[in-house]
């Protein structure tokens, strides 16, 4: 059996000011597996991702990354594109920094942009692109490195609902073709269930529960409207409530299956005081 791409083993993170952001988090991401972390704002999701990426040392516990560090990609909520560069030149930046020839990196950037449906926008600058298109460029930039492990920190959290659903479908199709290992943070229950093989439910500082998602890849967008999908989303919502979080919307835990699949406003649980004060309460 090949080793997993990423293992966090009993990771605790206490920041200098005493905030205990993670309190014994263990998780594994297998090769070709996409794992989501769901939990309310402030429960430690970003910290877990930063520790996984080696951007932040754990206070105790260990991190094992079994991937070439050059093949670890990030996608954040802010696409962080360089305004003066075209879409192609933004995507080509990473291979450029690694000394790939101009012809080769342009070719690779074009392929990555075509993969995310931006074949018609190769020479556009970020300000000429919509929010969803900018996020597509950001995903293309992550894919151009041919990642073994891709880390996503609420990449779709700032997008409107329609755009968000179409980017979920896009990413799901890319994942089904490329099968990188992925750790994807979201506070949307339906996004987590649609995209991932396993959903890890976080409460303040801890992984409290895990839900396996058995649907085969590729997953059609209509999967979101099935009773099986609604049942799993309901399970995750209930576990989230029990873990000390709250479902992103009341409709997430509705048994009907129709409202569940509609998603929710991107910022539904932002600003909710519960997760933030809970995580700080330990300090």
Ligand X SMILES: Nc1ncnc2c1ncn2[C@@H]1O[C@H](COP(=O)(O)OP(=O)(O)O)[C@@H](O)[C@H]1O
Residue 43 interacts, among ligand X, Mg ion, none and using kind-specific CB cut-offs from 5 to 8 Å, with ligand X
Minimum separation from the CB atom of position 202 to ligand X (A): 7
Cβ closer to ligand X: 45 or 134? 45
Residue 42 interacts, among ligand X, Mg ion, none and using kind-specific CB cut-offs from 5 to 8 Å, with ligand X
Cβ closer to Mg ion: 100 or 276? 276
Of 11, 38, 137, 279, the one binding ligand X by CB under 6 A = 279
d(CA 247, CA 188): 8
Torsion of CA 214, 218, 222, 223, to 10 degrees: 0
d(CA 190, CA 230): 8
- CA quadruple 271, 261, 181, 85: dihedral positive or negative? negative
Produce one character per residue of 126-141: b if its CB has 16 or more CB atoms within 10 Å, e if not.
Answer: beebeebbbbbbbbbb
203 makes contact with ligand X (CB under 6 A): no
Contact flags string 16-55 toward ligand X, x per CB under 6 A:
-x-x-x-----------------x-xxxxxxx--------
Cβ closer to ligand X: 42 or 247? 42
Residue 14 CB coordination number (10 Å): 17
* Contacts to ligand X by CB under 6 A: 15, 17, 19, 21, 39, 41-47, 276, 279-280
């Amino acid at each position: 059996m090949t080793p997993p791409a990423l293992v966090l083993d009993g990771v605790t993170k206490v920041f200098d000011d005493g905030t205990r952001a993670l309190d014994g988090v263990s998780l594994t991401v297998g090769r070709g597996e996409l794992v989501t972390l769901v939990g309310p704002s402030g429960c430690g999701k970003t910290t877990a991702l930063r520790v996984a990426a080696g951007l932040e040392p754990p206070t105790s516990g260990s991190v094992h990354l079994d991937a070439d560090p050059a093949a670890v990609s990030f996608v954040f909520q802010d696409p962080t594109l360089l305004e003066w560069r075209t879409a192609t030149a933004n995507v080509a930046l990473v291979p450029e920094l690694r000394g790939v020839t101009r012809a080769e990196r342009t070719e690779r950037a074009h392929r990555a942009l075509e993969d995310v449906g931006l074949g018609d926008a190769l020479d556009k600058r970020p300000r000429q692109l919509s929010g969803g298109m900018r996020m597509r460029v950001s995903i293309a930039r992550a894919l151009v490195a041919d990642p073994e492990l891709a880390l996503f920190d609420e990449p779709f959290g700032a997008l409107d609902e329609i755009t968000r659903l179409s980017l979920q479908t896009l990413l799901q199709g890319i994942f089904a073709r490329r099968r990188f290992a992925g750790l994807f943070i979201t506070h949307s229950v339906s996004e987590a269930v649609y995209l991932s093989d396993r959903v890890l439910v976080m409460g303040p500082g801890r992984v409290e529960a895990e839900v396996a998602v058995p649907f085969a890849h590729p997953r059609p967008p209509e999967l979101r409207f099935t009773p099986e999908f609604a049942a799993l989303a309901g399970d995750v919502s209930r576990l989230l409530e029990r873990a000390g979080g709250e479902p992103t919307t009341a409709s997430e835990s509705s048994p009907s299956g129709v409202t569940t699949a509609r998603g929710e406003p991107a910022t539904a649980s932002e600003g909710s005081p519960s997760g933030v004060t809970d995580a700080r309460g330990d300090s």
